[in-house]
Copies of this chain bind each other. A is one copy, B any other.
Amino acid sequence: MKIDGIAYRSVWLADDRWSVHILDQTKLPWSVDILRLTTRDEAAHAIKSMQTRGAPLIGAVAAYGLCLALRADASTDAMERDAALLNATRPTAVNLAWALNRMLTRLRNTPVAERVATAYAEAALIADEDAAQNEAIGRHGLKLIEAAVRPGRPVNVLTHCNAGWLATVDWGTALAPIYTAFNAGIDIHVWVDETRPRNQGAALTAWELGKHGVPHTVVADNAGGHFMQHDMVDLVIVGADRVSRTGDAANKIGTYLKALAARDNNVPFWVAMPSTTIDWTLTDGVRDIPIEERSAAEVTDMTGRLADGTIATMRVVSADSPAANPAFDVTPARLVTGLITERGRCSASEAGLLSLFPERQ
């Protein structure tokens, strides 16, 4: 998508055709800083520190991270070790493991001398496929937004966290239908959950919607239930970091609360994700999806822009109080109206997913 009229992806190769560029998402929305990754450790750090984030995107960056690792040592032992190291950077999103497994499957039978070139080709495929899948999600989700049009008012969509183009290679997952509808001329307005503690909604979703011109309003994470009680939300669309075979959806902490409010107010609640986000091995997401516990400092400290333009970090919690920071929660399938995938929409159930992905029977 575009920043000030220039088309970007969220990960791309530098002109040298080997080093990897990403946007430093910890610097957004205050400045657009492009990072250059040249080693496995730089890639691992970028994922772990969330300079790059979003379930689909970290899969693509990890794939390129393995390319960088192979440049240093393309032996099988090193490759397996480096893939494991990259896979351990974040625990919840399944796309990371999916992308690295795909790379290893391709590379294990590739002669050592050809591995670097093959790896770059495969990583590029992963990135291109992600962008294409998300564009398809946009088309399939557009129908839901078209169906919600009512005369004299915009379609109000609420979203949580950032599942936009910044969270994927391009287009986004939850935001792909929104961009598609906006581009088609539909009058649309997005309620953007702030998404504490890392503020990905206020910092990233608001920024990318604003750069594309999509009308939106940032609200505290606490506000969505009230808006739904008062007919101010037509549908909810969120992304996911891992979806079980049965349709349970792990997504940014707080998603479950919005799903409960949607159900209580008969507001459709949709989860948009490429099939790479589905973990076909899990049948009970609430029980079995590992939830990343991140640093308490993400709760106690916040970064923003002071009046003089300086970017600063400050403490926002009473000085001696501890904090806890589970980064994701799992919304049970029973609360999900449906899933939007690159192959179409389905119910949040094993039967629904298998109707779109019969090869997983």
Contact = CB atoms under 8 A, between A and B. Distances in A.
Interface of A: 28-29, 191-192, 194-197, 199, 202-204, 206-207, 209-210, 216-227, 229, 252-254, 256-258, 260-261, 264, 286, 291, 299-307, 312-326, 328-330
Contacts of A316: 199, 202-203, 302-304
A286 to B, nearest CB: 6
Contacts of A299: 194, 202, 218-220
Q: How many copies of this chain does one complex carry?
A: 2
B221 A329 contact: no
A222 B221 contact: yes
A355 to B, nearest CB: 28
A229 B222 CA distance: 18
B218 A195 contact: no
16 contacts: A28-B318, A191-B324, A202-B317, A217-B321, A218-B318, A221-B222, A222-B252, A223-B324, A223-B325, A229-B256, A229-B330, A256-B261, A302-B316, A303-B316, A306-B312, A307-B313
Nearest to A262: B260
Contact of A257 (B194, B261, B321): B261
Given A202-B300, A226-B326, 6 more contacts: A194-B196, A226-B253, A257-B257, A257-B261, A302-B304, A305-B319
A258 B29 CA distance: 30
A225 B329 contact: yes
Contact of A202 (B192, B222, B318, B330): B318
A227 B256 CA distance: 11
A199 B317 CA distance: 8
A307 B316 CA distance: 11
A40 B242 CA distance: 57
B194 A317 contact: yes
Contacts of A253: 220, 222-223, 226
A299 B210 CA distance: 17
A6 to B, nearest CB: 18
